[in-house]
Amino acid sequence: MQRPAMRITGPALDAADPIGLARFYERLLGWEMVEIEGPRPGYPAEDGWAKLRSSSRDMKIEFQYEQHYVPPTWPAVAGKQQMMMHLDIGVEDLEDGIAWALAAGATIAAHQPQRDVRVMLDPAGHPFCLFAMKV
């Protein structure tokens, strides 16, 4: 059997407040919110789903409601909710990227394993990394 054409278009992140998290990444990345849904009948007001698209339209991030969402622990600790994935975000200037992320609502993670990468936490506690792009 021949492998069919496949392409990763982007991740979907779980959150207790997916619309709020989508709005954070909308501001952080400057991506457009192209779809938003919810709450569904019978679900709490926080229920929902949203999709952001990059300006080039080749990448997306989706955000979906998870009733039992628990923020990951960074760094990982045995027996605690662990990070399943993270976003790597390239910036032209690391210090400017950190300042922008903080202004958008991120926090700096206490544990920083590399000098040239800054681990940040989004409002739902998902770690993401900022690093200086090589131009």
83/63 Cα distance (integer angstroms):
16
Backbone angles phi, psi at 89, to 5 degrees: -120, 115
Q: Of how many residues is the chain composed?
A: 135
Predicted structure pTM score: 0.94
User: Is residue 47 domain-shared with residue 81, that is, in the same domain?
Assistant: no
pLDDT at 135: 60
pLDDT in tens, 107-122: 999 999 999 999 999 9
State the total domains in the chain: 2
pLDDT at 49: 98
Q: Which domain holds residue 36?
A: 12-65
- For the record, the structure tokens of 74 come out as 């960074």
| CATH number of the domain residue 60 falls in | 3.30.720
DSSP letters, the chain, are -PPPP------EEEESSHHHHHHHHHHHH--EEEEEE-PPTTS-TT--EEEEE-TTSS-EEEEEE-TT--PPBSS--TTSPBP---EEEEESSHHHHHHHHHHHT-EE-S----TTEEEEE-TT--EEEEEEPP-
| Alpha-carbon dihedral 108, 73, 62, 45, rounded to 10 degrees | -100
pLDDT in tens, 46-69: 999 999 999 999 999 999 999 999
Evaluate whether residue 37 is within a structural domain.
yes
pLDDT at 134: 81
Last residue of a domain, one of 27, 43, 65: 65
- The residue ranges of the chain whose pLDDT is under 70 are 135
Strand 32-37's sheet: what is its strand order? 12-15, 60-65, 49-53, 32-37
pLDDT at 67: 95
